[in-house]
Amino acid sequence: MACIFCDIVDGRAPASRVLDEPDLIAFMDIYPWRPGHVLVVPRVHAVRVDELPPAAAAALLGAGARIAAALRAGPLPCDDVHYLVNDGPAAAQTVPHVHLHVVPRVRGDLWRLGARLVQQPVRRALGAVPREILDRQAEALRAGLPRPNAP
Ligand SMILES: [Zn+2]
């Protein structure tokens, strides 16, 4: 079955990678809800969280928390983050491979987030964020990542 996230995991499709670990990878969303929006994706293909090996499921949130720390420390605006998993097609999952969204938020930005979500179909039609911008953002986040076992 063709799966764009499996293609990214295996290096057959490009991505601006933030993390590359045994259980998962993380990369910049090409249609970000807010600048700095990262997707954390388990290496194993599964549509829903309950289909993942428990260790792979647990690793998602730990990685997300490290990315959140890097977002807060990095150059893009970020006070806090949303962690979001759309767990199956009836829950608005658009790529049928488990992924954790880590979306930077800034106090008072609700209207910007809402406008961005309403504009998503148009943004998708216009094309992805240029790769060089996503690569720069990923590089900044990698530089700000805490070590895996740091408190
Ligand atoms: Zn997949």
Q: What's the pLDDT score for residue 123?
A: 81
Q: Is residue 151 a part of any domain in this protein?
A: no
Q: Is residue 108 a part of any domain in this protein?
A: yes
CATH at residue 25: 3.30.428.10
Q: What's the pLDDT score for residue 148?
A: 65
Q: What's the pLDDT score for residue 66?
A: 97
Ion ligand 1 residue ranges (Cβ < 5 Å): 3, 5-6, 45, 97
pLDDT over threshold 80, residue 147: no
Q: Is residue 148 a part of any domain in this protein?
A: no
87 contacts 48 by C-beta, under 8 angstroms: yes
Q: Is residue 147 a part of any domain in this protein?
A: no
Catalytic residue among 37, 97, 99, 101: 99
- The model's pLDDT over 1-37, given as tens digits with 9 standing for 90+, comes to 699 999 999 999 999 999 999 999 999 999 999 999 9
Q: Is 82 a catalytic residue?
A: no
Q: How far is the CA of 8 from the centre of ligand 1 (A)?
A: 9
Q: What's the pLDDT score for residue 122?
A: 82
pTM of the model: 0.92
Q: Is residue 146 a part of any domain in this protein?
A: no
Q: Is residue 112 a part of any domain in this protein?
A: yes
Q: How far is the CA of 73 from the centre of ligand 1 (A)?
A: 31
- The model's pLDDT over 76-86, given as tens digits with 9 standing for 90+, comes to 999 999 999 99
pLDDT band at 150 (very low <50, low <70, confident <90, very high): low
Q: How far is the CA of 112 from the centre of ligand 1 (A)?
A: 31
Q: What is the full DSSP assignment across 10-57?
A: TTSS---EEEE-SSEEEEE-SS-SSTT-EEEEESS--SSGGGS-HHHH
Query: Of all helices (H) and strands (E), which one includes residue 103?
Result: strand 100-105
Q: Is residue 150 a part of any domain in this protein?
A: no
Q: How far is the CA of 85 from the centre of ligand 1 (A)?
A: 15
Domain count, the chain: 1
- The model's pLDDT over 36-67, given as tens digits with 9 standing for 90+, comes to 999 999 999 999 999 999 999 999 999 999 99
Range of the domain at 59: 4-140
Q: Is residue 145 a part of any domain in this protein?
A: no
- The model's pLDDT over 119-133, given as tens digits with 9 standing for 90+, comes to 888 888 888 899 999
pLDDT over threshold 90, residue 111: no
Q: How far is the CA of 43 from the centre of ligand 1 (A)?
A: 8
